[in-house]
Structure 1
Amino acid sequence: MSDPRPTLDQLQVFLAIVDAGSFAAAARRLGRATSVVSYTIANLEAQLGLELFDRDSTRKPALTEAGRAILGDTRTITMRLGDLVAKAKGLHAGLEAEVALVVDVMLPPCSLVQVLDAFQIEFPTVALRLYVEALGAVTQHVLDGIANVGICGPVEFQHVELRRSQVGAVRLIPVAAPSHPLSRMGEEADMHVRDHIQLVLTDRSSLTRGQDFQVMAMKTWRLADLGAKYALLKAGIGWGSMPEEMVRDDIENGRLVRLAVTAWDNAIYRLQSIYRTNSPPGPAARWLLDRLKDTLAPV
């Protein structure tokens, strides 16, 4: 037997027969003559050296053991080839092969999930790389070319290579565990926050290293991960601010208490879209930025 080289058309005809249940039904589905479908399968069987359909013992063609064995691989191959063709068409039209997105850790997870769920439907051929960073690390990722586009916080850093645009804001509120002393002080908590450990999100990048953002306490614990801060707050270790949307359920169910801290109450954390001026976002990346803006509260 010569080296078999099935064509995409042959494999698609094979699948059409399996799905339609007969050669005639497959022919109607494909818009071809039944004789053409039969001839195509005969050639495929000759190339593979295998009988794929039992045409004699059943009224309708049934898959042989060999036919069943190659069915899964055939579906995979045709799907992959279909994806390749779709991606090639997208690239020809200017669509990116991949988008690398970096977002600020303060971006509400539900907003991000909602947009990314729609993204996979809108751009099925575009791969995505997602990074979640804090403060200046978002800007650093874009500057270093690790990410094409980003959603960053209110970092006071200007660079000629960067284009920024306001996209919305997140409301921050001061919270602590019910067991924390500040939670039991009510309105008097405002006068005592300086005396208790404040959990502060810190920067992993060099852009804003050493800068403090709304630090009020004499003693601070600095964390580079918002998830770790969240866990410590619920454990009663220190107090600090969190995105209101992220802790709303905890407050309603008594796992956290909103503190009466005037300077932190209803603080606004402004978010911006960001990209390099010499590498503007393509259609898919621009779609991401626009949809993320639509989900955020206005500035």
Structure 2
Amino acid sequence: MLPNPTLDQLQVFLAVAETGSFSAAARALNRAQSVVSYTIANLEAQLEVGLFERSGTRQSKLTDAGKAMLEDARRILADLEVIRARVRSLKDGLEAEVSVAISVMVPTALMVEVLKEFRDRFPSVSMRLNVGELGAVVDLVSSGQSTIGIGGAVFKKDDTLHVERIGHSFMIPVVAADHPLAAIDRPLTIADVREEVQLVVTDQTEQTKGRDFNVLSYRTWRVSDVATKHHLVRGGLGWGGLPASLVREDLLSGRLVHLDLEAYEQSEYPIYAIRKLANPPGPAAAWMIEAFRSGLTQCPSRSEFMNRRVQFGDAVAAE
């Protein structure tokens, strides 16, 4: 007879594998350790393979067969969570609250526009809003603090998350108009910026720990958030990359100057809608995702943005 492990057996197996011991799994599942041991013994008997090494140590180490089965168990239980979540969504009505994490790369004007319409459409739904840097959006969704995330920086594969690209943004290197780099009337090289202070946002999450992006200067000032970086760049304390939507008015007014620096990667930065597979969005959250998708499709590409900026700048100069 073919083995037919139950969902409960797989849940207990996964708990032991992830906690590292039978006693820790028992505490996590709020069961007696003897029940956990009995469940695993029955599962091994059905499968006719040992899943854990009995070495006498407190740690429960997976056998090769246990390691092979681990991903299958995770997949089956993840599918179960999807089924449960779908049933909940069919039974439940409008959410009482929507918790959303939004990346600083999302244009502020679009965020305000979407949230204003959300307030009008769903007056009974409370809002919990987090604006995050780099990997913070993914962390907030993964931890369950936010129902949905609108942002990027998805650096690690996570099978528990549903990630869908809905638009783009991009970073551009800028400097204050009175900064020495702004006075160089030619394309810049790395040598031009190496000795100038570069302002860099340091991610506070594990998503990009130890990784730097577009750091070209030997001298760096590290700050905790984009808003602070924006203020320091405008104050002439250094140069750095900032979201194009954030500095558009500064560029048009001449307060900031775009640096023609080929070494700085300026490709489009994808923006995703992120949620847990086991927690599909309700009507209000689903509407919000589509509203951001619609708005982000109107965002210009980098070349279109720069062309518009040049045209506006010429018009202001002519006045």
TM range (shorter): 0.5 to 0.7
User: Hey, what does 2:281 align to over in structure 1?
Assistant: 281
The letter for the 1-side match of 2:203 is D
User: Hey, what does 1:155 align to over in structure 2?
Assistant: 154
User: Hey, what does 1:226 align to over in structure 2?
Assistant: 226
The letter for the 1-side match of 2:141 is V
CA deviation digits over 1:107-150, x for unaligned, max 9? 11100000001101111111110000111111111111100000
Runs of 4+ with >4 A deviation = none
Q: Distance in 2 between matches of 1:169 and 1:188?
A: 26
Q: Distance in 2 between matches of 1:298 and 1:143?
A: 30
Q: Distance in 2 between matches of 1:170 and 1:149?
A: 19
- Say if 2:207 is the partner of 1:203: no
Q: Aligned with 2:93: secondary structure?
A: coil
User: Hey, what does 2:109 align to over in structure 1?
Assistant: 110
What's the CA shift for 1:204?
1.3
What's the CA shift for 1:265?
6.5
8 Å CA contact 2:108, 2:245 repeated in 1: no
8 Å CA contact 1:183, 1:189 repeated in 2: no
What's the CA shift for 1:237?
0.7
Q: Distance in 1 between matches of 2:289 and 2:235?
A: 35
Q: Distance in 2 between matches of 1:182 and 1:170?
A: 25
What's the CA shift for 1:255?
0.8
User: Hey, what does 1:16 align to over in structure 2?
Assistant: none
- Say if 2:135 is the partner of 1:140: no
Q: Distance in 1 between matches of 2:281 and 2:152?
A: 19
Q: Aligned with 1:140: secondary structure?
A: helix
Q: Distance in 2 between matches of 1:298 and 1:271?
A: 14
Tell me the TM-score normalised to structure 2 length: 0.62
- Say if 2:169 is the partner of 1:177: no
CA deviation digits over 1:35-57, x for unaligned, max 9? xxxxxxxxxxxxxxxxxxxxxxx
8 Å CA contact 2:162, 2:274 repeated in 1: yes
Q: Aligned with 2:168: secondary structure?
A: strand
Alignment of 1:41-190 (within 5 A): 94-190=93-189
8 Å CA contact 1:186, 1:260 repeated in 2: no
Alignment of 1:238-277 (within 5 A): 238-264=238-264, 266-277=266-277
The letter for the 1-side match of 2:116 is D
User: Hey, what does 1:36 align to over in structure 2?
Assistant: none
**What is the RMSD computed on CA atoms of the aligned residues?**
2.0
Q: Distance in 1 between matches of 2:166 and 2:300?
A: 7
Q: Distance in 2 between matches of 1:186 and 1:207?
A: 38
Residues 179 and 265 (structure 1), Cα distance of their counterparts in 2 relative to 1, 3 Å cut:
farther
User: Hey, what does 2:27 align to over in structure 1?
Assistant: none
The letter for the 2-side match of 1:97 is A
Q: Aligned with 1:182: secondary structure?
A: helix
8 Å CA contact 1:167, 1:271 repeated in 2: yes
8 Å CA contact 1:102, 1:131 repeated in 2: yes
Q: Distance in 2 between matches of 1:286 and 1:165?
A: 13
CA deviation digits over 1:179-207, x for unaligned, max 9? 21111112243341222111112211122
What's the CA shift for 1:293?
1.1
8 Å CA contact 1:200, 1:240 repeated in 2: yes
Q: Aligned with 1:189: secondary structure?
A: coil
What's the CA shift for 1:298?
7.7
The letter for the 2-side match of 1:211 is R
Residues 92 and 155 (structure 1), Cα distance of their counterparts in 2 relative to 1, 3 Å cut:
closer
8 Å CA contact 2:105, 2:170 repeated in 1: no
Q: Distance in 1 between matches of 2:234 and 2:184?
A: 18
Q: Distance in 1 between matches of 2:126 and 2:178?
A: 45
The letter for the 2-side match of 1:248 is R
Q: Distance in 2 between matches of 1:155 and 1:104?
A: 12
8 Å CA contact 1:173, 1:267 repeated in 2: no
Q: Distance in 2 between matches of 1:155 and 1:221?
A: 25
What's the CA shift for 1:266?
4.2
CA deviation digits over 1:92-111, x for unaligned, max 9? 86110000000111111100
